[in-house]
Structures are given as structure tokens and as C-alpha cells.
A and B are shown apart, each in its own frame.
Chain A
């Protein structure tokens, strides 16, 4: 173990060599953890879907389609071909003309028609009368309006076709759009509640840990009492009291979670204060503020970050639970918990209503868990 006791030339020596901080080490370790990186990607995608997704879907999340209640998930557009063709055919049959093969594409339906006599342009009314079709017109083979007196042509009508990739729910709303909104709400509440728990918990815990003594005792007694109260009760009571308000929900959840954060930060602060490098700073004459900012907080960040990644899924779960019990966000807004609750009500007749939201929620929670594990291993490595 040789010490570097070399003599130095001034000029070259003054240029310092960059060091490798502990954060950089941690980042390198995190990058090597493929599960964590994959989870981070998944979460980013989910966040993007939640934030921007609802703008891109063709259906607003609260738009009701009375004719498509409980429509199964399908890549095909609705109405499906086996609904369109018979209707078209039966509409045309009234016109008493010969009908050829019906073709359906994404927005129109067409069929060659012919008759012995010239085609009466008014037969389009038979088609228009149906709910499904509009803008019925007669065209020739090239798509131009059919000339007068022609005996054969093509009957074309517009069909409004919609796609419900995930199906629709019991009220006829597009599930995909609702899931996207659900992601947005669930993630928002999870993150906001955790941020609140973070701010309150870190402030409370670090003050208790740093000041110590009686103040610490009192503050921790308060935490202990609050902890032993069945807190879920208070969330429920708060919600019942104030009504189902989006802001209130994440405040209520944040109030449940800050206790653990305060405990952790206090523990960290206490053990840091006893560390020799903090004593060394005191011996140098560094004041409280300097010690907190340069020594205590940077060394608390690690465990705090890890804990936050555990807090977010807990918050999301708590919100989902509340929604499941009927105490969460109000209709027509929805969250993943609410969707799962509705899905489980309709489980027998429309299982997709349960499966898609359940898979989405599970994926988010998984990703958060793996990311949290990865962060913990990166920031506090122990040989596995």
C-alpha cells in the first residue's frame, strides 16, 4: 500500500484530476442493472401515455356510446363487418335491385348495383334511413357521380366506424381512453402524495434528528401515537368528511405516508450526527447550516430516494383501494382502482374490463418495484 509521496512540479500539478464520486459509482451500477433500466423505460412510457395519451385517442374518456355498451376488445372497427353487410343488404333489398358483393373498408361501404331499368337516384334514401349509414350516393366505377339513366353503378355510403381496442365499459365508454386517464390520475396521485410525504417527512425527521434531546423525544412520541392509530381509517374519514376531491385525496394519502419517511430520515440524521466527519466539521467551527447542507443532507439523500420509490407504489395502491371502496375520484374521472372495481363487478359478462386495467396497474407497480430494488442495490451495494 504505497502512499503517493512524490515531489511535484507546480505547473502540471495544479490541474486537478477528476474524481469519481459515490453518485457516479451508483449511476454506473444502476445502468448495469437491466431490470431496473427496463422498468425505468416502462415507467417513462406509462407517464407519457398518461400525460399525452388522452390527447391522441380518438375517443374522449367520458364520451358515451349508447350503442356500444360492453363491446369486447377488438382490433376490428365497430360496427363490425357482420353487422354492416346484412344491414346494407337489407336496406338495398327494398330498392328491388340486383346487388353484387358488398365491400367494407374503414369508412365506407360499397356494393355494385344494377337493374334492368335505369337506376333511380332516390334509392339512396333506403340506405340513408338506416342509423349506420349516411351520405349514400351512387357512383360509377371511377368514383364519379353516376350519370343519368345508367343501369349499373356502385352504391356507396359512409359508415362511421370506431375502434375500441380495449372494448367499452358498462356505460359504453372507450376503455382505452379511460385507462389512459386512469394512468394519469393514479400516477399523479402517487407522485404528488409521495412528494408531500417527502417534504413533510424530511423536514420533520431531520429537525427531530438534528436537534435531538427533548424535542426529538416529543416529536417521535407524536409519530408513534399517529402510527398506532389505524390510519387508513383517517383517510377514509377525511374523504367522507370533505367529499371526493382530487386534491384532498393525495393530501390524505400523503398524510399516511410521511410517518415512515420521518422515521427513516430521523434515524439517518441521528446516525450521521455521530459520524466522525460531522464531528470533524463541528471541530472546524462549521455552523449548523453548513453541517446540514454539506454533510447531513447529501448523505441522507440515498436512503430517501430509495424510500420514495417505495412510497409511490404504496400511494398508488392506497388510492386504488380508496377508489375500489367507492371513496376515490369522482365520475367521470377515473383511476385504475376504480376501473378495476368496475371490472370486477362486470367480471362475468365482460372480463376484459377487469383484465386490462389489472394488467396495467400490475405493470406499473412491478416497474416501480424493480426500479426501487435497482436503486437500492446501486446506492447501497452488498454482494448478492
Chain B
């Protein structure tokens, strides 16, 4: 950047090891990092890269069976191996940290005012009154409305975004030199993410601290980081200025990461394609609470009067933030949830069919879930999982026939069929998602509802799944409902978009129209928040 300055944090040959029952796990295998005053450094990597463990090691926050070796100099003070008492003078005052899950990172038993005040009281020896005044200042600084009242709230009384602001307030309390942010926006909705990132950028400008931003999201990196370190399997594979890395990545892994942005578009189906599934005025209402001596139950309208029509060969992307009702809509369309309104499949009204009557239709309407870990039964083999549907819909098949079909299905999703006697926990996330897809397509469905199928996966794996889904759609003439909050993936997969908020449709239309010329203010906010910095193309 400028003339060489001295880094305030200088990490050399940092290693982090964990002693487990199965041997030593080497999470960080010797990395070098520099952080200069006032700059934003991003550490980017997928899960298992060691990016979080590295900073935990520097801050002395490893689990009991972890050990950090090497050197981490903060202004000439060696942090690695420092005693707890001496380390406590640095952390919370000179170097502070915010974490990924704000709900569990704050103590649920104490008011937020007290928690923010703690570092003030213990590091600066402030009195309770002075601390309280400063806390109110901080709350204002991070944009919490009505700070004089909010200071006495409990964490569970605040939203996710607000809790993260509270954590930021705590981190800024003692004017730190370095703020380490460990995936602070990953658990938040896209619009809230944008707000938090803006807040951090603004605070940095005002207060001048350095920020170390750990993330897996290249979009964020491009947006906020001056320099970036790319980590893979415990090592730094590439580092440098953000603009240079993004324009000309040297390392093949970096290149792969950058290329993993989902690309491509989906062509809309021909005009003559018939409507496969139609939903009209669908409402799903949940009743919560109530019971004797408890008062009236409250009504939650998860889906509030939605009409949608999926044509043969089409992919409709349903986007929205958490709580928008998109998953509920998907399940209502498949009649997995009771709902009001009408649902038609291939022209036939299926809204009021009971379970037995719906059963034969199930093979044509399938669902792939978000969580690859939770959607596979842990005590069944993969072969059994994939062929369970056959037991219901093609009971005349013999065991051998089912096995053959299992082999074929696994091959189709790109898995080695020799693995079909293994159990789900022996596979990676991406592989499990493939198994879930195999389970769905073995029945030769016509409509597939994909509920956030890639959200729990790393970017590089996401790309593979997206490619697989595209291939399957082409080969088998499938039609998809693609539900996601990840706009980049939705854009690449769908030809028609429905934007949902609070159970209602905010806007809908062909993909490019929605992305390039959104009309509704909410849609505009959504697009702006998600797409800044993610429109990348190599070359």
C-alpha cells in the first residue's frame, strides 16, 4: 500500500494442534500473517481451513486439548504461550473479538448493559455509573435505537442483527487496536449483513482500528478488505492486495474459489409447456401458545395468500430472508403441511386428499432438504436410504433389483456405488447432499422442490451440486422449485423469480428483470445487499 510500516500484529509460523482420542489433529500448519494499523485484512477459506482456529490460538481461546506454537507479536509483545493473566491485559482491551453466533456468544442470564460494561469495569476500572454512561454512548455509536431503554434488555429480547451490534459495541468499548471478526455476518440475513458490514466500515473510518475479518464469502472480501490471506487445510496458499488477487490469482486453489461463483443462466421453458403444479391463494397458519388458563393462542401466518404456477421444464426460484415463509410454501405445495387454498398437480386438485390418496403422487413430487447432515437417517446404510422410496412405490421389486437401482442412482449423482453399504456419517457434506438427491430422483419425479440445497455447503462444493442439478434437469426433464436466500445461486439456476417477505409475494418476474430492474423497494434492498461485489467473472 504505502511506505513500509511496522505491523501491529506479526504472526510467524503459527501452528495449532489438537490432541484427540484418534491422534493429533493439525488444524493450522505454520502460517505467517501481518496486520498493519488501520487496515482491513481478510482471512478467507472454506470449512476446515483453520482460519478460525488461527485467531483462537493467538487469543488463547483454544479448547482444553488445543495448543498453539509459533510466534504472534502484538507490538513487540509475544502472545503465544503468554500466561492467562498477562493475556487478559491484551484481550478485551487492545485486541477484541466478535463471533459468529451472537445469540450464544452473549450470556443469556445478564442484561446487555452489564455485559458491555464488563470490559470497561475490569480493564479501565470505571465506576458503575461512568460505565453505564459510556455504554449508552456505545449503543448509539452502533446504531441501536433507544439506547437508554435497550441497555437493560436481555439478549433473547433482541434480534440477531441487534445482538451483533451489541457485540460490536462491547468490542469497541476500550478503543482496541485490532478487532477480530470471526464470520460475524454468516448467521444473519442478507439485508442485515449489509447493515453490519456498513457499520463496521463506518466505525473503522471513525476510530481507526485494524480489522481482521474471517469469512468464507468472497463477496464480502472483495467489498471490504484491503488485503486478503487465502487459507486451505491449515496453510496460507496465497496472500496480497485484494484487487490484485481477484484480478490475477496465482494459486490454483484461489482460482478455483473465485471460479466457483455460480455462473450461467437458465432459459425459460417454451410457451407451450403445460402447467405442472399450481397453487392458488395458499395460506399456512400456525397457532402458538394458549391452552387452559393461558389466554388465546397467537396466529402466525407463515404463508399469506400466495399463488404460483410451475410449468414443465421450468425452474422457479423462491427467494426471501429467514421467516419469509419460503420453506413453508415449498412444503405446502407438496402437501406436507396442511394449508388453505388450492393446489393442483397436473390439472388435478390435490388440496383435500388424505395421506393414503396422496401416497401414489408422492413419487412425482419430491423434496431435497437443506441440511445434508440431518436429512439422512443415521442408522440406515446409504443403499437403504436411497431405495426406501422404492419399498413404498415399487414394492414388487426384489432386493436385488432394488440394489441395482441404487447403484444406478448413485452413479447418476456422481458417487461411487461401492459405498452404498456405508453410513451417512462416513461421508462429507457435499456427498450427503448427492445422496439426498439420489433418493429423490430414483423415483423418477416430475417436480423437485429444493429447499436451500446448497446453503450448508462450501462454495466449491455448491458449484458441483448446481452443475449436477442442471444436468439432471436436462436429462430427465425435471421442473424445480429452487428455494434459497443465496441470490447468486438462484440467479444461475432459475428462469423465474418470486421474492417473498412475511409470507407474501413482494415481486415476481423473469430472472433478469428481477435482478436488473427490480421495482419494489424491498427487492431493491435485497439485490443491493446481496450482489455488491459478487458479480465476478474471470477473464
> Is there an interface contact between A19 and B374, defined as CB atoms closer than 8 Å?
no
* Alpha-carbon distance A277/B384, docked complex (angstroms): 13
Of residues 275 through 298 on chain A, the ones whose CB sits less than 8 Å from some CB of chain B are: 275-287, 290, 294-295, 298
| Cβ-neighbour of A3 out of B371, B378, B379, B461 (below 8 A) | B461
* Alpha-carbon distance A282/B369, docked complex (angstroms): 13
Given contacts A3-B430, A13-B418, A20-B426, contact A286 B388 (CB under 8 A): yes
Q: Is B423 an interface residue (CB 8 A)?
A: yes
Q: Is A15 an interface residue (CB 8 A)?
A: yes
Q: Is B358 an interface residue (CB 8 A)?
A: yes
Closest chain-A Cβ to B350's Cβ sits at a distance in Å of 13
Given contacts A16-B419, A17-B421, contact A283 B367 (CB under 8 A): yes
Q: Is B513 an interface residue (CB 8 A)?
A: no
| Cβ-neighbour of B419 out of A17, A282, A298 (below 8 A) | A17
> Is there an interface contact between A8 and B411, defined as CB atoms closer than 8 Å?
yes
* Alpha-carbon distance A250/B129, docked complex (angstroms): 65
> Is there an interface contact between A3 and B414, defined as CB atoms closer than 8 Å?
yes
Given contacts A1-B461, A13-B418, A280-B436, contact A285 B423 (CB under 8 A): no
Of residues 285 through 320 on chain A, the ones whose CB sits less than 8 Å from some CB of chain B are: 285-287, 290, 294-295, 298-299
| Cβ-neighbour of A276 out of B369, B388, B434, B460 (below 8 A) | B369
Q: Is B359 an interface residue (CB 8 A)?
A: yes
Binary interface encoding of chain B residues 425-441 relative to chain A, with 1 for a CB under 8 A from any of its CBs, else 0: 11011110010100100
Q: Is B392 an interface residue (CB 8 A)?
A: yes
Given contacts A283-B366, A285-B389, contact A20 B422 (CB under 8 A): yes
Instruction: Count residues of A near B (Cβ-Cβ below 8 Å).
Output: 37
* Alpha-carbon distance A4/B426, docked complex (angstroms): 13
Closest chain-A Cβ to B439's Cβ sits at a distance in Å of 7
Q: Is B444 an interface residue (CB 8 A)?
A: no
Name the CB-closest residue of B to A298.
Answer: B379
Q: Is A6 an interface residue (CB 8 A)?
A: yes
* Alpha-carbon distance A282/B377, docked complex (angstroms): 12
Of residues 379 through 427 on chain B, the ones whose CB sits less than 8 Å from some CB of chain A are: 379-384, 388-389, 391-393, 407, 411, 414-423, 425-426
* Alpha-carbon distance A3/B461, docked complex (angstroms): 8
> Is there an interface contact between B428 and A1, defined as CB atoms closer than 8 Å?
yes
> Is there an interface contact between A286 and B414, defined as CB atoms closer than 8 Å?
no
* Alpha-carbon distance A280/B384, docked complex (angstroms): 13
Q: Is A228 an interface residue (CB 8 A)?
A: no
Closest chain-A Cβ to B237's Cβ sits at a distance in Å of 15
Of residues 352 through 385 on chain B, the ones whose CB sits less than 8 Å from some CB of chain A are: 358-360, 362-363, 366-367, 369-371, 374-384
* Alpha-carbon distance A23/B378, docked complex (angstroms): 10
Residues in B neighbouring A229, C-beta threshold 8 A: none
Q: Is B15 an interface residue (CB 8 A)?
A: no
Residues in A neighbouring B46, C-beta threshold 8 A: 1
Residues in B neighbouring A21, C-beta threshold 8 A: 379, 381, 423
Closest chain-A Cβ to B83's Cβ sits at a distance in Å of 25
* Alpha-carbon distance A275/B461, docked complex (angstroms): 24
Given contacts A3-B431, A284-B439, contact A16 B420 (CB under 8 A): yes
Closest chain-A Cβ to B382's Cβ sits at a distance in Å of 8
| Cβ-neighbour of A6 out of B63, B336, B416, B458 (below 8 A) | B416
Residues in A neighbouring B363, C-beta threshold 8 A: 285
Name the CB-closest residue of B to A7.
Answer: B411
* Alpha-carbon distance A284/B363, docked complex (angstroms): 7
Residues in A neighbouring B407, C-beta threshold 8 A: 13-14
* Alpha-carbon distance A21/B421, docked complex (angstroms): 9
Q: Is B464 an interface residue (CB 8 A)?
A: yes
Q: Is B334 an interface residue (CB 8 A)?
A: yes
3 shortest interchain CB distances as A-B pairs: A19-B422, A285-B362, A276-B375
A to B CB contacts below 8 Å, 8 in the list:
A4-B414, A16-B419, A19-B426, A276-B371, A280-B375, A280-B376, A284-B443, A287-B359
Binding site for B on A (CB under 8 A): 1, 3-6, 8, 12-23, 275-287, 290, 294-295, 298-299, 383
